[in-house]
Every structure is written in structure tokens, then in C-alpha cells.
Chains A and B, each alone.
Chain A
Amino acid sequence: MNYAISIVLATAILFVPSITAEHARQDAWLSLPLAGAFGALVTYIAVRLALRFPGETVVQYTPRVLGPVIGKLVGFIYVYYYLFVAYFVQREFSELMNAAYLERTPMIVIIIVLTALAVYLLYQGLEVLCRVNTVVLWSMIGAIFLIVMFGIKEVRLEEFLPVLDNGPGPVILGAVAPGSWFGETTVILMLMPFILATDQPRMVKFNLLAVLILFLVLQMIVVAAVGQFGAEQAATKLFPTLALARHVDIPELPIFSRQDAVFMVFWVAGMLFKLTTFFYAGTLALAQWLNLKDYRPLILPLAVVITALSFHAWIDIAELKSFSGEVFPFAISFVQFFLTGLILAVAVFRGIRPQPGKGGGT
């Protein structure tokens, strides 16, 4: 559960509030429940599918479900999807670091440091990843909570009026981006075989709970951002959560002012886990797609590849941001929702069951 929350949270908190506010304006807080519901649906489908083949990953069973050729093709889409999210994360991360903290440090250095950590974590394996994650996740939520609490006095409720000024359309549009972020819980398709067999039946509950917590945290941020900056300002911020952190000021306790670098610290940790998770899923998926026994030999080459891709995929931060608002949600929603649903539907329709001897977890 921890897992799902942290991977989505790390990047979602970065752009989502402003993307949502851009469409829905003061109704951004209404977009999130919609997005959460969509996320819950996607999560439910993904977990159902994963539970149908508890001992295998999506790349392993798609060829059986959809036939060898299409299955391999779809499998590759998943491989690419995971790696794509990974290098998206890399770029997003380094853009913020470059913009806010390390203006002159070459972006490549920032990316390499983070990627090196991810590679190290990957060599240690999934178990260690989960352990580190547990240690850091709650401190991250704690940090966000503090940032929001520090600014709660500044939240002006009238910023949320009028409700539904421009009708429900923008609200739905605003829900698309966060909805796709919620859907990132579909990474469970790659992780299910490694979850204890005794825990597997509870995964539906766990993942939905994760979506709920995620929803609450995001809602908190959106409310704080719109309430403090006003909808118009929130929409134009490149990094609204960072802006929130920069906004903390308690005149009585000046020591708490300008402490946004501390926020950066937690956020680096969050980004690392997200990157590592998708990188892991991508590497493992590719290894399985190529029928390799061990994914480890792929780590370093793939690290180089995604680092290069993260550089060349987008020209600048403006493109990155419009991409994450207009293209990214639809592209990943396609994989998360449509493809996953399709596989599940076909599997149910054709009555395909896991291969004997492969059931159960490790």
C-alpha cells in the first residue's frame, strides 16, 4: 500500500495542482474526487487482472491471452510505458532542481546522481526498495502535511467561489491529468508475483486504500494552492507545491520561513522511489519480454538509455509541462485503462487461467 501511494505522489504533487487549476479554476477541488474515482476504477481493473495471474507479470501472460504476436506487441507497450514514465520522472525532477535550487549545475549531473541511486537500489532488489520506501514515505506525507498546515491561515475560502462557474466541463477536463496519475498504481501488474501469497487477496483493498490516501493528500495540496494563491495564480505556477513550500511564513517564528529546501529533500526521496519503481518494472518487463532469467544485466544499459531519452524527448520545461497536461495523461491512460481493461476482458472471455505451477507468490 505504502508503495502505491509513494510512487504516484512523488510526481503528482509536482504538476497536478496547476494542471487541474488551469482547467477547472476554483473548482479544482471538485475535479479530484472525479479523478480519484477514475483512479480507483483503473486500480481495480489492474489488481483484478494481476490477481488472475498471481504468479506472473503482465508481460508474461499477455502473449497467452492475446496470442503470441499481438501479445508480444502489447507486452512491449508495457515495457515502453514503464520506461517512459521513468524517463519522464527523470526529466521532471531535474527540471525542478535546475529551476529552483541548482541553476548552474548541469542537468546531466542532477540526473546522474538520482539515476545512480536508482541503479544502486535496483541492484539491491525489490525487497530493499520496499523497505526504504516504508522508511521515507511517511516522512514525506508528514512534510506535505506540515507545509499545508503552515499555510492554512492563508487559505481564503472565497477563492473557491463561485462553484461551477463554467459548468461541469472544465471540472472533467481538470480531472483527466490527476486521474491518469492515480492510474499509475497499475505498476502492480509487474509487482504482483512478488507479493506474499497470503497478502495477495488483500491487494484490492490495499490499492484502493492507497488511492484514497493519495486522493486526500492531493486534495489537501490543491485546496491549499488554490486557497492561498487564488485559482488564477495556482494555474500559472510551474511547481505549485514548491510554491506552497516557499510560501510558508510564520511571522512569529521566522526560522520557518524560506525552508523550502527542506521540502526538496523529501521530494528527492519521493522522486527516487518513483523512478526506481518504474525503472524496475521496465527493466524486469524487458528482461521477461526478452525471456532473460535475470534483469540485472539490463540495469546499466537501460539507465543510460533512459537518461539519454529524458534529455531528448522534450525541448524545454514549457514543453514538458504542456506535455504532462495534454499528452501524458491520455497516453498513459490508454495503457492503464484501455489496454489493461482489454487484457482482462479477453482473459475473462477466453477463460484463460494461469499456467499450472506458476500460481502463488514467492
Chain B
Amino acid sequence: MKYSRSLQLIQLGVLGALLMGVALAALSAEKKDPNKFNRLMTPISERNPPPAEDGIHDPESFGTELLQTPRASFSVLPRSPSGNYVNWTKALDDGAIEPRYHRDDADAGPVVMDLNIVREVKGSMPNVVYPHKQHTEWLDCSNCHPALFIPQKGANQISMAQILLGEACGACHGKVAFPVSECRRCHSQPKLEVSKTE
């Protein structure tokens, strides 16, 4: 009985030390300043880490050190506040990147459709302007129609809740395209302007 009591004490001691270690690691990561500005945001110095430090690549794998680092690649691309911290749309428009539209034909170009869809939204947020142009630069019609969006006016009810759960716009926005934290890139048409023009 006595033996198990002491074992319990040792266990508690070790667990305490472990927890202290984790807390200390957290503190040192915050550079020991508990009142650091933007405490919960990823500091710029820790954005786009090299593969060996990103937590998913195995630093012991021979391949990991051969891979290009995102930081090196992104150093020449326009920045954005979230996602990869790269404004991919601008990068394409500016010619900073020239992604192929066909696997082995570097000259193939997309069929761009220049049609804006304005979605009037409830509440006080500006209306959403959906530009087909920027989307057809990258995608094929079949990527969105008809599985994600029925190509018919008024047929698609979209909510932010759906988007956050990965449906509708959320199939890409929040996964690979800019996330929903960049509200105004979609909610871009002030309501006042609409009533003036009408």
C-alpha cells in the first residue's frame, strides 16, 4: 500500500514537470512577454516555415531537405494578410506567376468569362460581388457547376455557416483560396451605392 502511494507521488511529480515544460515552451515561444502585441497571431517570422519545421514533414526524411521552402518561393510574389500570405489573384494578374492551363501545352489559355454576380446579403455587410473572371482564369466550369452551385439565378442559398463548414464557396475558400477572414474581398459592394444607382 505504501509502495503504491509513493509510486503515485512520483507519477504526479513527473506529470507536473511535463506540464511545466509545456508551459515554459509556450512562454519562451512568446519571447517571455505575456503582453505581447497580437499575442495569438502567427508572427511574421514564423509564417511560411521551411518543410523541416512545419510540423507535418518528417525532418528525418531524406526528401524533406531537398524540397523548396515556401519562403524562398513567395519572396517574389505579392503578399496578402492570410492563407499562404500570398495574393494569388494579383500574382496571376501581374504576371508574377504563369501557371499552365494545360498539362503539357504552355501556350494554352483559359476561356475567361467576364460576368459579375451580385448577391444581396442580409444584415449590414456589403453585398457580395462574385467575379466569374478571376475564377475562370484558374478553374473549369465543371469544378463548380452543377455540383457546388446550380447555374440558375436564385437557386443557391448560401450562408457563412455553410462556407465555414466547407460547402459552397467554402469548398475552396478556407482550404486553398483566401480564407473568410478577408471579408471585404467578397463583401465589396456598399449597400448605399446600390440604392443611389437605382
The answer to whether A binds B is no
A: residues with CB less than 8 A from B are none
